[in-house]
Amino acid sequence: MRGKLLFALTVLMLNSGLKPDKPAYILYDKNGKVTSYQSLVSEIKKADIVFIGELHNNPIVHWLQLELTKDLFNKHGKNLVLGAEMLEADNQIIVDEYLAGLLTTKKFEEECRLWDNYKTDYKPLLEFAKTSGIKFIATNIPRRYASIVYNSGFEGLEKLSAEAKVFMAPLPLEYDSTVTCYSEMLKMGRSHGGTNLPKAQAAKDATMAYFIKGNYNKKGAFVHYNGAYHSDNYEGIVWYIKKAIKNVKVFTVSSVQQTDISKLEEEHIGKADVIICIPDNMTTTY
């Protein structure tokens, strides 16, 4: 509540022409206009699927993820489902066992392939799911299979066993190289992976969309945590989701950093329904 009041004061000061000393973040709508946390909450509560695109090492974004998740739980209760890029599909059984209280925290953290910043940035989300009795889905393709795509293209996945293929979207994977996020990645990575670099990204996006669809509760909502690039400009995972689920109500949040956050830079306008704008000198978690 205290954080929400501080943000409300920040917005009021900006709108009145006054400048706060050091705002930690400002929220903008897709048109680049300042918006409020309460407006954001009001909008995401109308959505079926919410994508929170993060900067992986940014503490402000991770804090807001947890706050938004709590507010969504207040609306949907046990019908809220969480999911994350940071957990891989073949570890779902370990996640389920931990949430069910069958594994100690120590054993879970030893067995599950967790990101180095898990304890500071993602553990609060998983612990919230555990204490609230809601599902948490490991949505990402196992990184060893994404590496196969990077090295051998989609064709490399066909050589996997049937048991391995259950941890990814059904083959053959749909792929459109003209989707901007993939075409731009191709330009950036010609010397690193060539045409396979965006394909590996697409394998992740398609798989995350596949497991979101498979666990999406029509009576509630699904909130997904992922790197901003996976959902920016309504592409990546969002592109796959909209093809897989007709008339689904999607809401996207992105995260950006700027030297001056008092005005959203042109390149970020339209990137998502709401953009979290954070000073580029913000302390990082790693």
In this predicted model, what pLDDT tens digit does every residue of 149-169 receive, in sequence order? 999 999 999 999 999 999 999
pLDDT at 10: 54
What the block records as the tokens of 74 is 């207040």
Flag whether pLDDT at 13 surpasses 60.
Answer: no
Flag whether pLDDT at 263 surpasses 90.
Answer: yes
Q: Give the model confidence (pLDDT) of 92-139 as tens digits.
A: 999 999 999 999 999 999 999 999 999 999 999 999 999 999 999 999
Contact 86, 125 (CB under 8 A): no
What the block records as the tokens of 155 is 């064709």
User: Residue 17 — very low, low, confident or very high, per pLDDT cuts 50/70/90?
Assistant: very low
194 vs 123 pLDDT, higher one: 123
Q: What percent of the chain has pLDDT over 70?
A: 91
Residue with tokens 């046990």: 78
Domain residues of the chain, as ranges?
A: 41-254
Flag whether pLDDT at 276 surpasses 80.
Answer: yes
SS (H, E, C) 257-280: EECCCCCCCHHHCCCCCEEEEEEC
Report the DSSP beta bridge partners of residue 52: 225, 253
Flag whether pLDDT at 189 surpasses 80.
Answer: no
Closest CA to 278 of 56, 5, 50: 56
How far apart are alpha carbons 191 and 13 in whole angstroms? 48
The rounded mean pLDDT for the chain is 93
pLDDT, average across residues 21-28: 92
Flag whether pLDDT at 191 surpasses 70.
Answer: no
pLDDT at 14: 52
pLDDT at 22: 82
87-101, 134-148, 188-202: which has the minimum mean pLDDT?
188-202
Flag whether pLDDT at 203 surpasses 90.
Answer: yes
Task: Provide CB contacts within 8 A for 188, sequence distance 6+.
Answer: none
How far apart are alpha carbons 264 and 262 in whole angstroms? 7
Flag whether pLDDT at 8 surpasses 70.
Answer: no
Task: Provide CB contacts within 8 A for 108, sequence distance 6+.
Answer: 94, 97, 98
pLDDT at 20: 58
The pTM for the full model equals: 0.91
What does the chain come to in residues? 286
User: Residue 259 — very low, low, confident or very high, per pLDDT cuts 50/70/90?
Assistant: very high
User: Helical H runs in the chain?
Assistant: 2-15, 37-44, 59-76, 92-99, 105-111, 123-132, 143-152, 162-165, 180-188, 196-215, 237-244
Flag whether pLDDT at 18 surpasses 70.
Answer: no
Q: What percent of the chain has pLDDT over 90?
A: 88
Residue type at 23 in one-letter notation: P
Q: Give the model confidence (pLDDT) of 49-85 as tens digits.
A: 999 999 999 999 999 999 999 999 999 999 999 999 9
Please state which of the four CATH numbers 3.40.1190.20, 3.40.50.11550, 3.40.50.1980, 3.40.190.170 is assigned to the domain occupying 41-254.
3.40.50.11550
